[in-house]
Amino acid sequence: MLATLSKNKKMFINYVMIIFLLLSFVVLFSSVFLQYKSNEVEKSSVISNEQNLLKIENNVVSNRINKISSDLLYLLDSFQLEDQGDGNYSKQEQQFLAFSSRKKIYNQIRFIDVEGNEVIRVNYKDNRATLVEQNELQNKQGRDYFQETIRLEQDQIYISRLELNIENKKIIEEDNPVIRISAPHYLDGELQGMIILNYSANDIFNQIRQVASISHGQIFMLDSQAYWLYNSHNRDKEWGFMYENRTNHKFSKEFPTEWEKMHTDESGYQVSKAGLFIYTSVAPSRLFRQTNTTHTYVSSLEDWLLVSYVPAQSQKGMLFSQDIWLLSLNSLKKNYYFYIIILLIAIAIAALIVTNKSKIEEIKYFSEYDVMTGVYNRRAGFHKLAQLYKKSADKPVHHSLCFIDINGLKEVNDALGHETGDELIRSVVEGIKKNIRTNDFISRLGGDEFLILFENLNAYEAEKVWQRIVKYYESINKNEGRPYLIGVSHGIESFKFDANQYIDAIINSADEKMYHEKRVVKKEMQVLREN
């Protein structure tokens, strides 16, 4: 029966696959062609979107940079107007405080004298501007920005490199990059000191971060040496030039071929195996010159490169590395419901083809197997014996038949109901199945009677198997607490097919042995538990 079902199932699957594949090929070919055309449009959209985002970021950076030099010159002019040459800078202190509170983008605003001593320092932190006490002011004579500014002429401005803030040769604020812009303060033609603004570049990066949140890829800002100043995907790669353990964290190390083209072009895009790269340059020094024509600039500030990187493995990145297989796979994912419909059609057609055959096989199955227990019925059991006879008629081997009868089945049915009686029958059969070999078989003769065939076993060997079965029942009786006790009477008869023995006679002999055992055990037999 199982073999027949497997055969019908195989035929059904074959028909389903043939119909499904033919229809699917037509749908797939059409969808791949349409997908290719759609991808070309989407690729143009992605490039346009990322270019627009970089343009916005460039404008953001430009707007921020434009204000810095104007702020410095405003403070410088105001400072000079209030400087009476008497060393009293109280008005300038208040002005620095007010200016810092209003602007909110300068970590420090300082006036440093010609000897490098901080005379005024206003810090801005945690949304609050504070004037640093005199005893906390420091000497900055050894710092690069002081040395650069002290050499400036009256109409010059110094701009530092974008970097992390360093005190005593240690990075003190990892998340607070700064640009220092400074100008000398002259009074009556004599250098008195300098004004220095520490511009918080987070003002720029926060804006870039907002724009990056709507990008299809990763947003980078690189310096001229290909170090990451900003990396929306991995912050640990940023500021490689400031950390000894990050000196190899460079864009040019990860994408050498792409960098060769990008750092020589002002803007553009390229597609490589790594993905899509769209880029545009930002020249801060040029921006400073555009905003002020009265001063010249001495700048350590390098040009930057804004990059939008769409990885090849990303959903949008795969558009730029599409091939027929990728398109086909994506089409299958995107249009899966079409294939479900096609599969349903194929199933329906295949089902019609095999339905009649399946019905015939189903009828045949139920004619051979007992529905309740799943073992052979009487007719099929005798047929199996006939087959065994043909197979071993000329072989001098012993077989054994075991005739069994379930003790007290009627009593269980009457007292506990037929459902419990059926459970008893199934439990008996289950115990037999678990303990006989694969070449042995069991058939239900009717009601509470079953027949077991032990192939190639004599009566002694068959009895040993039966004792295993009995132990299985005893274990259930002991551990499961059922309202009944499983008990089975049995009789075993050994035989050889070459001994002119008839099957009916062998079964009758086993039956007599079973009834003899039943008469003995019936005197003390307990089927229902007392409680």
What is the C-alpha separation between 271 and 256, in angstroms, rounded? 14
The pLDDT of residue 501: 67
> What are the residue ranges in the chain where pLDDT is below 50?
none
Chain centre to alpha carbon of residue 486 = 53
Q: Any residues with CB less than 8 A from the CB of 410 and at least 6 apart, and which?
A: none
Chain centre to alpha carbon of residue 421 = 52
Collapsing DSSP to helix, strand or coil, 513 comes out as helix
CATH class held by domain 44-321: alpha beta
Token pair recorded at residue 93 = 């202190």
Positions of CATH 3.30.450.20 in the chain:
44-321
Structural contact between residues 484 and 408, judged by C-beta atoms closer than 8 angstroms: yes
Positions of CATH 3.30.70.270 in the chain:
370-522
The pLDDT of residue 493: 92
Residue 142: count other Cβ atoms within 10 Å of its Cβ: 8
> Would you call 116 exposed, middle or buried from its count of C-beta atoms within 10 A (0-12, 13-18, 19+)?
middle
Using the structure block, give the residue that is written with the tokens 């940079």.
Answer: 65
CATH class held by domain 370-522: alpha beta
* Phi, psi (rounded to 5 degrees) for 54: -65, -35
- In sequence order, what are the beta bridge partners of 120? 111
What is the C-alpha separation between 144 and 512, in angstroms, rounded? 114
The pLDDT of residue 263: 83
